[in-house]
Amino acid sequence: MTLSNKLSDPRLFRQHAYIDGKWTYSDGGREEAVVNPATGEVLGHIPWLEAEQVRGAVDAAERAFPAWRALRADERCERLLAWNELLQANREDLATIMTLEQGKPLPDARGEVEYGASFVRWFAEEGKRTFGETIPSHIPNAALGTIKEPVGIAALITPWNFPLAMITRKAAAALAAGCPVIVKPASETPFSALALAELAERAGIPAGIFNVVLGDAPEVSKVLCAEERVMALSFTGSTRVGRLLLEQCANSVKRVSLELGGNAPFIVGPDVDPKEAALAAVAAKFQTSGQDCLAADRILVHESIHDEFVECFAERMAALTVGNGMESEVDLGPLIHSQAVDKASQIVDDAISKGATLVAGDQSQAPGPNFFMPVLLTGVTPKMQVWRDECFAPVAGITAYSDDDEVIEMANDTEYGLAAYVYTHDIRRIWKLLRGLEYGMVSVNSVKMTGPPIPFGGVKQSGLGREGGVAGIEEYLETKYYCLGGLGSASGS
Ligand SMILES: NC(=O)c1ccc[n+]([C@@H]2O[C@H](COP(=O)([O-])OP(=O)(O)OC[C@H]3O[C@@H](n4cnc5c(N)ncnc54)[C@H](O)[C@@H]3O)[C@@H](O)[C@H]2O)c1
Ligand SMILES: N[C@@H](CC=O)C(=O)O
């Protein structure tokens, strides 16, 4: 059974790039297979575009830009709201595509479709609030102020772990601001991006405004980064690739936004119920099989409740079901590919060789080659890879600590600074940790922290800029200052 047969609307399954409102094949005839990570089945093929075709997407965006920016904000809002409605109406098909190409359980995929649509709704409205300022004049007979204008063509490069929401969080902000976009999705998960393009077209987003290019990632990114007509680059992915792209954008001096890796500490204070905190930590660690930038990578537990916490964590972890995300009752799908499985094994071996204790995690139970059974390690120390690297696998590492100053130092002992979790009810401890943690986002007594109204983003090597919230649209706006001189007494004050 092919992917399109599993959809109510088979036209949502596209195997071409989308440029200037046209479904486009590779001029060079190159193509790549896209594989279901749970089964190894080939789901379809995508074209590997030539550099000239990627430049063609820039040409199309350049042509379409003047008419799109000239629309009133409320007119762009209408198109975005129509896109949102189509995302919601096609939720089941979009979730099916996502589970098949990414592997996450179907209920999680449905949740991501809703999460992705929520950014479209949010930015549809935010586009109407891109206010400039009136500046009290220091120049005689003049009126001063600012106007917000779209920055121009934006290139959006996105990862495979959230194949839909990482696109809409960027694209909706850019489109609302009046910018055309060129999306380069991860090659592992292109079909969600192409379904988004199909629905954008149906929503009345004009040709050339929403483009999807596909191909060899370094080749395509080089073209987009070097292009002087591309004014902004927004990237979500690993810190390693983020650094490369930042360098590549230097020559054309682009606006660069980077949403990079995380290595979140999950801090458990001495005053909380260990069972409650353990349930929260399991939820924060294992979403998307641990392949989440917000995954609780280093679980730091006060020594007074450490043993009880470990016992509750292990019990909850044992109840997780690993399997094909299309099957019901599955909590953890596969990892994205076999290299991810190899890396997870290596991280576990490294920890054990350096003195960690393997409490649970028997890989002989894995239901297929890309699956990795959840692992619990205790006695994790900063020497270990599981502490230093962004793990991106269902491997939980627990470390005991003795006081607040020590745990702040431990939590900050990483190059990353995306998100941190704190579990405690002591208000003085909450404030101390909130201020002491070098992270862009700190969530206290809640696993859920994201959503459209919040400024999502990290400090240190977790990124530059913010997505979502009031700040998200600013990444796609320029501030134009004006001085209207010679106004005489009409200038006012
Ligand atoms: N901060 C956030 O909001 C956030 C959200 C989701 C994922 N992430 C991060 O994304 C990473 C996982 O995603 P991934 O494995 O797809 O990341 P990745 O960096 O390997 O790939 C991201 C994108 O860059 C492209 N790419 C890969 N190599 C490239 C190269 N040499 N030159 C140019 N482009 C290249 C990929 O095709 C993909 O489109 C993790 O580090 C995770 O933390 C961060
Ligand atoms: N869970 C994150 C994506 C990170 O991988 C989000 O909510 O944006």
Tell me how far the alpha carbon of residue 313 lies from the centroid of ligand 1, in angstroms.
30
Whether 450 is covered by a domain: the verdict is: no
Q: Which residues line ligand 1 (CB under 6 A)?
A: 157-162, 166, 184-187, 217-218, 221, 236-238, 241, 244, 259-262, 293, 390, 392, 418, 463
Whether 449 is covered by a domain: the verdict is: no
Give φ, ψ of 265 to 5 degrees: -80, 145
CA-proximal residue: ligand 2, atom 4 (nearest): 293
Verify that 475 and 427 share a domain, yes or no: no
User: Which atom of ligand 2 is nearest to 169's Cα?
Assistant: 8
Whether 485 is covered by a domain: the verdict is: no
CA-proximal residue: ligand 1, atom 1 (nearest): 259
Q: Which residues line ligand 2 (CB under 6 A)?
A: 161-162, 292-294, 450, 456
Instruction: Provide the residue type at 333 as one letter.
Output: G
Tell me how far the alpha carbon of residue 181 lies from the centroid of ligand 1, in angstroms.
18
Q: 194: alpha, beta or left, given left = phi > 0 and alpha = psi -120 to 50?
A: alpha
Verify that 114 and 252 share a domain, yes or no: yes
Verify that 391 and 249 share a domain, yes or no: no
Which DSSP string corresponds to 413-458? -SS--SEEEEE---HHHHHHHHHH---SEEEES-S---STTS-B--
What span, in angstroms and rounded, lies between the C-alpha atoms of 327 and 330? Answer: 6
Verify that 11 and 41 share a domain, yes or no: yes
Burial of 392 (0-12, 13-18, 19+ CB in 10 A): buried
Verify that 252 and 307 share a domain, yes or no: no
Verify that 238 and 309 share a domain, yes or no: no
SS3 490: helix
Tell me how far the alpha carbon of residue 84 lies from the centroid of ligand 1, in angstroms.
25
270 is written with which tokens?
């001495």
221 is written with which tokens?
């990114």
The Cβ of residue 226 has, within 10 Å, a number of other Cβ atoms equal to: 15
Whether 452 is covered by a domain: the verdict is: no
What span, in angstroms and rounded, lies between the C-alpha atoms of 367 and 356? Answer: 26
Q: Which domain holds residue 246?
A: 3-261+457-480
Global model pTM greater than 0.90: yes
Radius of gyration of the chain (CA): 24
User: Which atom of ligand 1 is nearest to 294's Cα?
Assistant: 43
Verify that 236 and 381 share a domain, yes or no: no
Pair 225, 249: CB distance under 8 Å? yes
User: Which atom of ligand 2 is nearest to 165's Cα?
Assistant: 8
Q: Give the total number of structural domains in the chain.
A: 2
Verify that 191 and 296 share a domain, yes or no: no
Q: How far is CA 24 from CA 29, 92, 182, in A?
A: 11, 26, 14
Whether 301 is covered by a domain: the verdict is: yes
What span, in angstroms and rounded, lies between the C-alpha atoms of 22 and 207? Answer: 8
User: Which atom of ligand 1 is nearest to 467's Cα?
Assistant: 3
Verify that 431 and 462 share a domain, yes or no: no
We report the CATH number of the domain holding residue 17 as: 3.40.605.10
Tell me how far the alpha carbon of residue 487 lies from the centroid of ligand 1, in angstroms.
52
ipTM: 0.97
We report the CATH number of the domain holding residue 287 as: 3.40.309.10
Whether 377 is covered by a domain: the verdict is: yes
| Pairing assessment for the beta strands 143-150 and 477-484 based on DSSP bridges | antiparallel
Among 104, 421, 450, 467, the mutation site with the greatest number of ligand 2 atoms within 8 A of its Cβ is 450
What span, in angstroms and rounded, lies between the C-alpha atoms of 248 and 258? Answer: 13
Query: What are the catalytic residues?
Result: 259
CA-proximal residue: ligand 1, atom 25 (nearest): 217
Verify that 157 and 274 share a domain, yes or no: no
Whether 284 is covered by a domain: the verdict is: yes
Q: How far is CA 263 from CA 40, 99, 111, 314, 388, in A?
A: 29, 25, 23, 21, 8
CA-proximal residue: ligand 1, atom 33 (nearest): 218
Verify that 37 and 50 share a domain, yes or no: yes
Produce one character per residue of 98-112: b if its CB has 16 or more CB atoms within 10 Å, e if not.
Answer: bbbbbbbbbebbbbb
Verify that 343 and 194 share a domain, yes or no: no
Whether 489 is covered by a domain: the verdict is: no
pLDDT in 10s for each residue of the chain, 493 residues: 689 999 999 999 999 999 999 999 999 999 999 999 999 999 999 999 999 999 999 999 999 999 999 999 999 999 999 999 999 999 999 999 999 999 999 999 999 999 999 999 999 999 999 999 999 999 999 999 999 999 999 999 999 999 999 999 999 999 999 999 999 999 999 999 999 999 999 999 999 999 999 999 999 999 999 999 999 999 999 999 999 999 999 999 999 999 999 999 999 999 999 999 999 999 999 999 999 999 999 999 999 999 999 999 999 999 999 999 999 999 999 999 999 999 999 999 999 999 999 999 999 999 999 999 999 999 999 999 999 999 999 999 999 999 999 999 999 999 999 999 999 999 999 999 999 999 999 999 999 999 999 999 999 999 999 999 999 999 999 999 999 999 998 887 6
